[in-house]
Structure 1
């Protein structure tokens, strides 16, 4: 299985070669991998911001624990979750499903009502927590896609969400920054690439009942 070998190859890159850029074709594949990620009810209640503006990335660096990946990686993705979930979000999905699968809207009324009812069972805090968790599924797909493409990547949780929200004007968009991902090519000076991968043994992770 090629994926296993590629996952053994990847690591959380600490230092990037800022002179090397990810090409548009590979970036498109990563975006498609994110698009194809599983999500609860298929609603995809998240958005991924690709930060290319160098000035913006310089502003994000000090509120990201000063991590060099923020500015040196070829691309920076900020995975954002929806702050609110409304009936309109469900209707948008139902309309898209009807269009893509060539189904009459009337046949999906029961599914729409069910989803709307389940959304109303969640508190505002529960909805934010739930949508934030969805971003991690998409992040996992992106990390795996990078490994397949032999591109380096770094998932980053070390940042100030409120500062990100202010710099990227997320509240106006109804979003919150959940997790960040740097993508690019490792620097030859990154000593971390030579370290053995540390993972718990399979017997410690799995239990058959």
Structure 2
């Protein structure tokens, strides 16, 4: 298998920035977008429970509804694909059972053989101490997906901008999430930078490595 070199990886991460202005005439090609969707699907999560759903917004009318709920940031409308990261609220034993059934299907195992694993998950996220803050836990899982998505996009030459400047509850209403049991956490615009986005040429500002990394 051909691996990305350390130099290539760092080049792509230095190329990446929070794009402030997208070229609205450019659309992410279907094959590249398909790979980015798979990167979302392949995101790791605690226990593998995947407590999320990713909503891909490309409809211009829907983008126009979301932009005023996003501090009126133009990236929402200008980008090619707008990803809304949501959590599945208040995980239940049924969700765990769904995951166990899927595991048995994919790995060609008997569901009964996973009974111990199911018990551990249910006793933690459904009935255990974690259940008291399970939506917060799910939110942290979703940020893993956001980081994974942005890194994969950079490797494929796609620009992104993570969007926390949004009104999640109002997003939920527009997207019809409450009746589906989901809630908005964060969003991410994806597409291609405009040639006149002044932020594209600014040097990255990071603390020295010695300040943020300590080897023990």
TM class by shorter-chain length? over 0.9
Cα distance in 1 for residues equivalent to 2:146 and 2:72? 22
CA drift at 1:53:
1.6
Kept in 1, the 8 Å contact 2:124–2:130? The answer is no
Measured on the aligned residues, the alpha-carbon RMSD in Å equals: 1.1
Cα distance in 2 for residues equivalent to 1:204 and 1:21? 39
Kept in 1, the 8 Å contact 2:18–2:162? The answer is yes
Q: Structure 2: state its 5+ residue gaps.
A: 1-5
* Alignment correspondent of 1:70: 76
* Alignment correspondent of 1:40: 46
Q: Does 1:192 align with 2:204?
A: no
- Report the CA distance shift for 1:202/1:147 in structure 2 as closer, same or farther (over 3 A): same
3-state SS of 2:134 partner: helix
CA drift at 1:33:
0.9
Alignment of 1:20-99 (within 5 A): 20-99=26-105
Q: Does 1:118 align with 2:124?
A: yes
3-state SS of 1:61 partner: helix
Q: TM-score, normalised by structure 2?
A: 0.94
* Alignment correspondent of 2:214: 207
3-state SS of 1:29 partner: helix
Cα distance in 2 for residues equivalent to 1:92 and 1:127? 18
Q: Does 1:10 align with 2:16?
A: yes
Residues 175-205 of structure 1: CA distance to partner in whole angstroms, max 9, x if unpaired?
A: 1111101000100110000100111111111
Q: Does 1:108 align with 2:114?
A: yes
CA drift at 1:122:
3.8
Q: Does 1:154 align with 2:142?
A: no
Q: How many pairs does the alignment contain?
A: 209
* Alignment correspondent of 1:131: 138
Q: TM-score, normalised by structure 1?
A: 0.97
Residues 85-143 of structure 1: CA distance to partner in whole angstroms, max 9, x if unpaired?
A: 00011111111111111111111001101110002114665111011111110111110
3-state SS of 1:176 partner: strand
Cα distance in 1 for residues equivalent to 2:34 and 2:69? 28
Q: Which runs of 4+ in 1 moved over 4 A?
A: none
